[in-house]
Structure 1
Amino acid sequence: MSGTELARKSAVTRAKRRLEDKLGPWAVFFKGFVQHPVMVGSIIPSSRFTINRMLSRTDWDRCKLFVEYGPGVGTFCQPVLDRLRPDGALIVIDTNPLYIDYLNRTIHDPRFTAVLGSAADVETIIKDHGHDGADYILSGLPFSTLPDGIGPAIVDGTHKVLRPGGAFLVYQFSAAARDFMAKKFERIDSDFEPLNILPCKLFWGHKD
């Protein structure tokens, strides 16, 4: 590829990023959904009602590490950072480089780390970033449409890295996630948020 072609490609990339930033997170989220609908599971981000209800049972005073699977464009990220203690950390994991790139360009907080990878590898990821366990793990991944074996692997890894007293927070459009969670979490609390598109089922799997 010639220097002129490289310069043209670089200019196009910068133009696309400027357009995405101008259109806002919804445009980026929709683009990611179009690229990987099975992994994203929703055409628009979660509502503020879902966010507040989902995070309401978290003991923020004891939370040193909060992990999120499938952060998308960061709908939960700033609300988590707003609640997280000053010496806490937030690690988000996504398989879509579009989202990871967007998050790294728009969130500037020393407590925040965005990782391109699979939630099934959570144990390795948090160890690589200097942590021996997580206090809370949040997931909006569509368990009912994940490839075979991925759902159980994610739940197994999640239960393993959660510290005693921690919890696995899951929001879904169906109850399929609860079936996966029940294989590892004996105590699961459930709730429902109607003010979301679509109405959302909420689950908290506790590691007692």
Structure 2
Amino acid sequence: MKTFEPLLFLQGFLRNPKRVGSVLPSSKYLAKKIVQSVRWDEVRTIAELGPGTGAITRLIRSHLPKSATVFLFERDPKMRSNLKKTYPEFMFHSNALSIKKDQSRIYPSVG
């Protein structure tokens, strides 16, 4: 975790506490536990809702099959901008309402 990430997270919380549900990003322990529960050999598409500063995203990237598609949905503009710089290969949206629309574009039989 970069040293400014907790500050970025806190600023997001202070700007809009209803959208940013915590004052700190997920811990490395929690991120590791979440990622361990995924069957990575079966993943084709993954959506992370509210990646914040990327605590879990970092581990997703390290386990992700090369052919998989990743959607990151982050409402906070500063956090989303930071994530775009770090993960340019992922697809970004500010609102999870676009999940179905994007999924239909990639997988025409869905939606």
Q: TM-score range by the shorter chain?
A: 0.7 to 0.9
Give the TM-score of the pair, scaled to structure 1.
0.48
Q: Give the secondary-structure state (helix, strand or coil) at the position aligned to 1:101.
A: helix
Between the aligned partners of 1:100 and 1:39, the Cα distance in structure 2 is: 13
**Is the counterpart of residue 127 in structure 1 residue 111 in structure 2?**
no
Segments of structure 2 that go 5 or more residues without pairing to the other structure are: none
Counterpart mapping for 1:8-19 below 5 A: none
RCO comparison, higher one (Cα < 8 Å, 6+): 2
* Aligned counterpart for 2:38 among listed residues 58, 70, 80: 58
Between the two proteins, the alignment pairs up a number of residues equal to: 110
Letter in 2 for 1:107: Y
More strand by share: 1
* Structure-2 change in CA distance of 1:132 and 1:70 (3 Å): farther
Cα distance in 1 between the residues matched to 2:19 and 2:57: 18
2:57 alignment counterpart: 77
Q: Which residue of structure 1 aligns with residue 23 of structure 2? A: 43
- 1:113 aligned to 84, 91, 105, which one? 91
Distance 1:38 1:85 in 2: 34
Distance 2:70 2:103 in 1: 10
Q: 1:127, CA displacement in angstroms?
A: 3.0
Structure index of larger Rg: 1
Q: Displacement of 1:70 after TM fit?
A: 0.7
In structure 2, C-alpha distance between the alignment counterparts of 1:101 and 1:31, rounded to whole Å? 14
**Identity value in percent:** 22
**TM-score normalized by the length of structure 2:** 0.84
Return closer, same or farther for 1:36/1:131 CA change in 2, 3 Å cut-off.
farther
